[in-house]
Amino acid sequence: MRKFLIFYLFITAISGCTNEPKVSIENQTLIGKYHQNTDIAAFLGIPFAEPPIDELRWSAPVHHQPKNSVRHVKSFSPACLQPMGILEWYRDLAEVFGNPRDIVEDLSINEDCLYLNVWTPTLNNTANLPVMVYIHGGSNNSGWSFEPNYHGYALAKKDVVVVSIAYRLGVFGFFSHPEIQGSINANFGLWDQVLALEWIRKNIKKFGGNPNNVTAFGESAGAQDILALIFADPAKNLFHKAILQSNAGFGLPQQTNGNGHVRSSMEDERNRGLKLAKILSTSDKPLSLDELKSVTAEKILNTYQKEFSEHYHSPAVDGYLIERPTWLDIQNKDLSNIRVIIGTNADEYYANTPENVTPEMLEIIANQLFSSMTDDVMGTVKSESDPRNIIDRLYTAEGMLCPSENLAANITSDKGKSWVYYFDRIREGDSAMHPMVRAYHGAELPYVFNTHDEWMTTTNLDNEITDIITDYWTNFAKHDNPNNSNIPNWPEFNKDTKFVQRLGDKIETIPSTESVLCSIYTNQITR
């Protein structure tokens, strides 16, 4: 009897170890894995579109048609083709904290890259859990859905379904050519996002999610793209609220230059495409679209990067997906149904400012950003002893903080709902004086996902901040409100009082940190 019991327990243990989460969708069974001995099921590298290669390069994404009855989705699929800037940034940061650069693994990239990832605490298709869809940043030129800080297992433990999606980048995603005709003639990366959201709406119920309660959240260019899609008819009802981290406002001047002048236009896209076609041609005649499609992806990427490495890819006003500059939609459309969390980090630009700043440089930058009120601007920041702080404050205010608060003010004025945050936590440790470890662009991400890298200094206070931030984000997804009784109250943004929630060493409500600069900004864009 004892031998039988031991044998039974052994077999049971083996069975438990080999148990795998399975979901059947679209005539295919997806087999995932459980995350590190937890009950969080992970389905990684699910194709939502046919590979955008050959004749599908620079075309609308095509819904994936399964070719096999079973597909194992236990590991991430390659990232979209891109320069290695963000990978090197992670390695730089690891080095700052005293680790070897190769602690951050190499990145596999491929033109065949339209996959998404799902983390869920249940496979009960009646659970109707809120869905949180993450769209990564990287100037629409780089980044990937499974960056170290974007894994969704920790958020999923708070009873939400988390999805991260890929989209075409750079020359493959934000590009056009005079021969590309029809309604889908640019913004291919944004169309990828729309198709991924359509896939989620159709299939997420099988993963325990509620297709009628989807929160899109993103950082940097990801936030900018979400803001554009809020007003895009093809994305209507595919998500219902948004969390816009560090860049929602930044995309606005990129598109309108503060005065309604579109910077990223179809003309711009086609001119870049035509220039690329001329550079790659071996004759005086630029390559046709079909000829461009026959050029290797690597050659296109390398050539484009050499010629346009400094280009920031904003969604182009194509007259169909993006009908007009987003800023005009914010000013003119009904915003009463919009619900957003939006915010900025304290030191968005400090790490990228030059170390030796001259008074002449300061005046030039102030004039570029706040052209008509340079004296007032410089008077506001004159108490700063570090010229780099001045530059950081000016760029952060004009590019992110003030546009974000202005967006929130427009929403609440139209009876919509918005909550504004200000993230200023600076990591502790021996390297804390290094500029990269201030409240830099992206510093909030490991707190949002609870994915603190093992090579970073993470204290009990960091963990406490993380618990509160993840509660705010998931509460918003669940209840359209970030608050509950166990965490500090976060009031809705009010255009008159302009209180924001500080997310840092203290979690507290504070007045807007740049009220004077933001008043100047508002006066400038509304003239």
Tens digits of per-residue pLDDT, 268-310? Answer: 889 999 999 999 999 999 999 999 999 999 999 999 999 988 7
- d(CA 407, CA 379) in angstroms, rounded, equals 26
Token pair listed for 325: 């500059």
Least confident stretch, 49-53, 108-112, 424-428, 518-522: 518-522
Which fold would CATH assign to domain 2-333? Rossmann fold (3.40.50)
In the residue annotation, 220 being an active-site residue is answered as yes
Domain residue ranges of the chain, discontinuous segments joined by +? 2-333
With a CB cutoff of 8 Å and minimum separation 6, the contacts of 460 are none
H or E segment and range at residue 379:
helix 374-381
**Active-site annotation holder among 77, 142, 220, 404:** 220
- d(CA 45, CA 65) in angstroms, rounded, equals 15
More confident residue, 504 or 353: 504
pLDDT at 327: 82
- d(CA 150, CA 217) in angstroms, rounded, equals 11
% of the chain with per-residue pLDDT over 90: 68
Is the pLDDT at 14 greater than 90, yes or no?
no
Work out the average pLDDT over 415-440: 85
Work out the average pLDDT over 469-491: 97
Neighbouring C-beta atoms of residue 307, cutoff 10 Å = 14
Quick: pLDDT tens for 149-201: 999 999 999 999 999 999 999 999 998 999 998 889 999 999 999 999 999 99
Q: Which residues of 139-160 are buried (b: 16+ CB within 10 A; e: fewer)?
A: bbbbbbbbbbbbbbbbbbbbbb
